[in-house]
């Protein structure tokens, strides 16, 4: 009897032990699975983004800053990280190409090209890595697309810094209705500048102005070309032009002593040598580009199908210092450009 009870007891003990082991194993497996799921939820992807910027000046710097701020904000909100490799070409198109080739070799996830020559270098450098441009005036002109319809159909999309040219022409007429001769001052090496001049010239001519072009090839001949424009013009129009923006002080040193005002295509340029501009926010343009980058990197958007985006608002602004120097009366609906 005792032996039978002992056998029964041992059998029951073995059953409980096996059951306990099974429960422990199941619990361990469930705990490990939960930990893995939690890690997946809190640990996002890491993205590497290359930024090639043509030249350092206020507008392009603001666009790059806005791009980095917005993309970082969006990626980190998902628990991920983004690393930026920001490189400046110091105004040299060949250096843009070298920078892009470096990004391609390192296998970045996306390239942001700030200004037209940077975008053109990215176009030549890769047809696989997604590319977003910013501070680019006209993508059809920049990329050599004749039948431009708003999308590139390639690995490229981005944002445009083009303010309405018709409104810029109206601004010139509003401020200088008695002027006769308008000097169109810009860099011949920048296709987007040529595009703006081609569009705004007939608008001004329809208003009765005589328009004459004055082109410089690079920073070396800016001063001499500006002097000729100042001698022969009542007012000068300078489009959104990276070379002009980087040489704004040299242009102002010619125009201001000659008492010749300039209407400019963007605020950074106007703050250096202009009277007034129809301004966009380049920082906001950069944040738009950052939002587009997020859609590509995280949500798998196809740049080929993403329409080029434009600044949502424009503002009439004036350079108070130059306006006072020239004694020009500015309407009340203009805002003074803040001093940096």
pLDDT in tens, 36-81: 444 344 458 999 999 999 998 888 999 999 999 999 999 999 999 9
Residue 30 predicted with pLDDT over 60: no
Residue 154 predicted with pLDDT over 90: yes
Residue 12 predicted with pLDDT over 80: no
Residue 6 predicted with pLDDT over 50: no
Considering the chain, tell me which residue range(s) the CATH 3.40.50.2300 domain(s) occupy.
46-161+281-307, 165-279+315-336
The pLDDT tens digits of the residues spanning 106-147 come to 999 999 999 999 999 999 999 999 999 999 989 999 999 988
Residue 5 predicted with pLDDT over 50: no
CB contact at 8 A, 269 and 238: yes
The C-alpha angle with vertex 262 and arms to 261 and 263, in degrees rounded to 5, equals 130
Query: Which DSSP category does 312 fall into?
Result: S
The pLDDT value given to residue 191: 85
For residue 187, name the pLDDT band (cuts at 50, 70, 90).
very high
For residue 4, name the pLDDT band (cuts at 50, 70, 90).
very low
Which range among 17-31, 124-138, 258-272, 321-335 shows the weakest confidence by mean pLDDT? 17-31
Can you tell me the mean pLDDT for 85-111? 97
Assign domain 165-279+315-336 to its CATH superfamily: Response regulator (3.40.50.2300)
Can you tell me the mean pLDDT for 223-251? 96
The C-alpha angle with vertex 318 and arms to 315 and 320, in degrees rounded to 5, equals 145
The pLDDT value given to residue 307: 97
The pLDDT value given to residue 57: 83
Task: List residues bridging with 112 in a β-sheet.
Answer: 51, 132
Can you tell me the mean pLDDT for 15-33? 44
Class of 46-161+281-307 in CATH:
alpha beta
Residue 225 predicted with pLDDT over 70: yes
As a whole number, the mean pLDDT across the chain is 89
The pLDDT value given to residue 26: 47
Distance of CA 219 to the CA centre of its chain: 23
Alpha-carbon span 133 to 113, nearest angstrom: 5
For residue 232, name the pLDDT band (cuts at 50, 70, 90).
very high
Residue 238 predicted with pLDDT over 90: yes
Residue 28 predicted with pLDDT over 60: no
Alpha-carbon span 161 to 185, nearest angstrom: 19
The pLDDT value given to residue 340: 65
For residue 23, name the pLDDT band (cuts at 50, 70, 90).
very low
- Taking the alpha carbons at both ends of the chain, their separation in whole angstroms is 101
The pLDDT value given to residue 185: 98
Residue 308 predicted with pLDDT over 50: yes
pTM of the model: 0.73
The pLDDT value given to residue 10: 43
Alpha-carbon span 26 to 39, nearest angstrom: 20
Can you tell me the mean pLDDT for 270-287? 94
Higher pLDDT, 154 or 27: 154
Residue 19 predicted with pLDDT over 50: no
For residue 82, name the pLDDT band (cuts at 50, 70, 90).
very high
The pLDDT value given to residue 313: 85
Q: Which two tokens stand for residue 65?
A: 């800053």
The pLDDT value given to residue 8: 39
The pLDDT value given to residue 58: 84
Alpha-carbon span 315 to 313, nearest angstrom: 7
């Amino acid at each position: 009897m005792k032996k039978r009870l002992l056998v029964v007891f041992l059998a029951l003990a073995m059953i409980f032990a096996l059951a306990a082991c099974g429960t422990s194993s199941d619990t361990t497996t469930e705990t490990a699975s939960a930990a893995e799921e939690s890690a997946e939820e809190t640990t996002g992807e890491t993205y590497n983004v290359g930024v090639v910027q043509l030249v350092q000046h206020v507008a392009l710097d603001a666009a790059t800053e806005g791009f980095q701020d917005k993309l970082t904000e969006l990626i980190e909100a998902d628990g991920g990280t983004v690393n930026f490799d920001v490189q400046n070409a110091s105004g040299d198109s060949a250096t843009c190409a070298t920078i892009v080739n470096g990004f391609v070799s390192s296998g970045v996830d996306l390239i942001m090209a700030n200004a037209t020559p940077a975008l053109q270098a990215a176009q030549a450098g890769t047809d696989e890595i997604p590319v977003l441009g910013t501070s680019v005036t006209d993508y059809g002109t920049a990329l050599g697309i004749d039948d431009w319809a708003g999308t590139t159909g390639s690995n490229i999309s981005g944002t445009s810094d083009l303010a309405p040219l018709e409104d810029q022409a109206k601004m010139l007429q509003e401020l200088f209705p008695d002027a006769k001769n308008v000097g169109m001052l810009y860099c011949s090496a920048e296709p987007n500048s040529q595009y703006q001049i081609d569009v705004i010239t007939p608008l001004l001519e329809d208003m009765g102005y005589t328009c004459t072009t004055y082109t410089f090839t690079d920073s070396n001949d800016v001063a001499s070309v500006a002097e000729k424009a100042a001698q022969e013009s009542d007012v000068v129009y300078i489009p959104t032009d990276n070379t002009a923006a980087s040489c704004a002080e040299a242009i102002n040193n010619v125009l201001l002593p000659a008492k010749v005002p300039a209407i400019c295509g963007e605020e950074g340029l106007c703050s250096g040598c202009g009277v007034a501009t129809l301004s966009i926010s380049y920082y906001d343009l950069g944040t738009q580009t950052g939002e587009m980058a997020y859609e590509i990197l995280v949500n798998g958007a196809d740049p080929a199908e993403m329409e080029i985006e434009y600044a949502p608002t424009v503002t009439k602004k004036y350079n108070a210092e130059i306006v006072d120097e020239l004694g020009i009366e500015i309407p009340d609906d203009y805002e003074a450009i803040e001093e940096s």
